[in-house]
Amino acid sequence: MNSLLKILGTFIIVLLTVSITSCNQNGKSDDEDIFDDKDDIGFITEVESQTYYLIPSPEGLFSFIRDGDLKYVKDVLNPTENMDKYIDTRAKELNFGIYSADLAYVASFNKYQESVDYLNTVRTLSDEIGISAVFDENLIGRIDNIIDNQDSLLKVTSDSYFSIVRYLESSNRTKTLALIVTGGWIESIFVVTNLIDNFDPNSDAVQLLADQKLVIENLMSYLDQNKSDDNIQRTINDLKNLQKIYQELKTEVKENSAPQENTDGKIVVGGNAKIIMTKEQFEELKQEVAKVRNKITKNN
């Protein structure tokens, strides 16, 4: 199974993605031929009968908000001391993703000591979930020699995250990868929603959240590939209300750029389309993602 890191099209705001492949027992993807114009979507791409589920990396999300007018708020993070309460595998893997997102967040704002603290937490959890091999001597050396420099912090945290993705894919540990990516995405959305003080439907931050409508569909599809696993099914159930909120978001399409429907009746969004989020939907999203995230971090 190959790992592919891709840049999303101009319609998608986030810059970096994790590309996860999946196919069915016949070697043919479950979503084959769903999209006629894949270049306009950039989210599900067919390559050699495999489906690529593209999920934004936390670093990609937070490098975006750092360049905006959103402030750094440490209180929104999952404290590193909570790590000791994560005993079972599901809790460790989901919170590994959450801590990875927190690490990307503090690094994006050039918080040196916090970055070191979260790096150490991620390294400790990596050993407990059996992926410590990712942190080879070269990467550990880079971590230990991080200087108080924004580019160095971001580069090391980004490289660490993608090394983990590649390792899990090459080891065929799709269930672990699914939970880690889910945890990272949930934490990213939780942080962004809690940084928005004054709702503006036209702001880049709100549009970033609205565009996650496409992402959560990819995420749920990827989780569904492993739904026979109890930990994955529990996670799918936890995300259903969040998915429903996103499904209710409307899409605004410019003239002469009407969306198409596939055979399942799903809307295919083109490059001239914009997903709209109202203030009421934002508040509902903020409340629901907090509920899901806190359930994970409190290990309920």
What are the Cα distances from residue 151, in Å, to 108, 123, 154? Answer: 9, 20, 5
pLDDT of 267 > 50? The answer is no
Res. 146 pLDDT band, cuts 50 70 90? low
Note the helical H segments in the chain.
38-41, 58-66, 89-108, 112-128, 137-144, 150-170, 174-195, 204-224, 230-247, 279-297
DSSP string covering 7-21: B--TT----BEEEEE
What are the Cα distances from residue 258, in Å, to 43, 127, 268? Answer: 19, 50, 9
What 3 state SS string does 150-219 have? HHHHHHHHHHHHHHHHHHHHHCCCHHHHHHHHHHHHHHHHHHHHHHCCCCCCCCHHHHHHHHHHHHHHHH
Q: What is the pLDDT of residues 76-112, one digit of tens each?
A: 999 999 999 999 999 999 999 999 899 888 888 878 8
Residue 30, classed as helix, strand or coil, is coil
Q: How many Å apart are CA 11 and CA 38, to the nearest integer?
A: 12
For the ranges 37-51, 191-205, 267-281, the lowest mean pLDDT is seen at: 37-51
How many residues can be counted in the chain?
Answer: 300
Res. 299 pLDDT band, cuts 50 70 90? confident
Q: What is the pLDDT of residues 15-44, one digit of tens each?
A: 234 455 554 444 433 333 333 333 333 333
Q: How many Å apart are CA 241 and CA 211, to the nearest integer?
A: 17
Answer with the residue of higher pLDDT: 15 or 133: 133
Res. 51 pLDDT band, cuts 50 70 90? very low
Answer with the residue of higher pLDDT: 266 or 190: 190
Q: How large is the average pLDDT for residues 242-259?
A: 82
Answer with the residue of higher pLDDT: 77 or 139: 77
pLDDT at residue 37 in the model: 35
Q: How large is the average pLDDT for residues 187-209?
A: 91
Res. 290 pLDDT band, cuts 50 70 90? very high
* % of the chain residues with pLDDT over 70: 64
- Amino acid type, 31: D
Least Cα distance to 122 among 106, 138, 145 occurs for: 106
- Amino acid type, 94: L
pLDDT at residue 169 in the model: 84
263: left (phi over 0), alpha (psi -120 to 50) or beta: alpha
pLDDT at residue 242 in the model: 97
Q: How large is the average pLDDT for residues 230-255?
A: 93
Q: How many Å apart are CA 160 and CA 100, to the nearest integer?
A: 9
Question: Domain locations in the chain?
Answer: 58-297
